[in-house]
Amino acid sequence: MKNKILIGIQIFLATTLLATTIAVGNAGGSDDPLVAKSYVDDKINQVLEIINTTVGTNNSGNNSDKTETTPVIPDSSFKPVLVQVGQTIYGKEGTELILRSGKGNAVVPGKEGIANITNGMELKNKNTVNKNQLLIIPRDDGRGIKVTEKAWFLVKGGYSIK
């Protein structure tokens, strides 16, 4: 009886070893190619160059009256921006804004507003902007925040101050 159990265990282990060898042997084949990190990094850099080139050519507009403009460049970090009383910070499409200090009111030229992601609401024209709430500008159509008290914003994406 002991011999049958030992033979059963040996067959099980041999089958497991064979299955593992077959599975690992297929890695790197035509169905599952292996690539080097440098190859992947090179391809990512090529895509980023294409994105930067495309964004650079699409960012030219007829906004000659704006005093400060930043390009729309894919960026994953917020930048602190100071806006003086009476100035308006306008966001480009997809720009994220957070009012950290000061006061301001929404500037919305149409019916749709600025998305307030923090509370799930929409800011309409002349609504007060609350501090520390994430706002997203949905389109590049003149939406922004007019500052009524010197304000610091955290901004991710393109913007202009007028």
Give the model's pLDDT for residue 105: 97
Place of tokens 């894919």: 74
Alpha carbons 123 and 105: distance in angstroms, whole number: 9
- Note the helical H segments in the chain: 2-25, 37-58
- Flag residues of the chain having pLDDT under 50: 59-64, 66
Q: How many helices (H) and strands (E) does the chain have?
A: 2, 9
CA dihedral 58, 77, 90, 110 (to 10 degrees): 80
Q: How many CB atoms lie within 10 A of CB 21?
A: 10
Question: Running DSSP on this structure, what letter comes out for residue 76?
Answer: -
* DSSP states along 42-58: HHHHHHHHHHHHHHHHH
Amino acid at 103: K
pLDDT single digits (tens) 119-144: 999 999 999 999 999 999 999 999 99
Residue ranges of domains in the chain, CATH in brackets: 2-58 (no CATH), 68-161 (2.60.120)
Give the model's pLDDT for residue 32: 60
pLDDT single digits (tens) 44-64: 887 777 777 766 555 444 444
Question: Running DSSP on this structure, what letter comes out for residue 92?
Answer: P
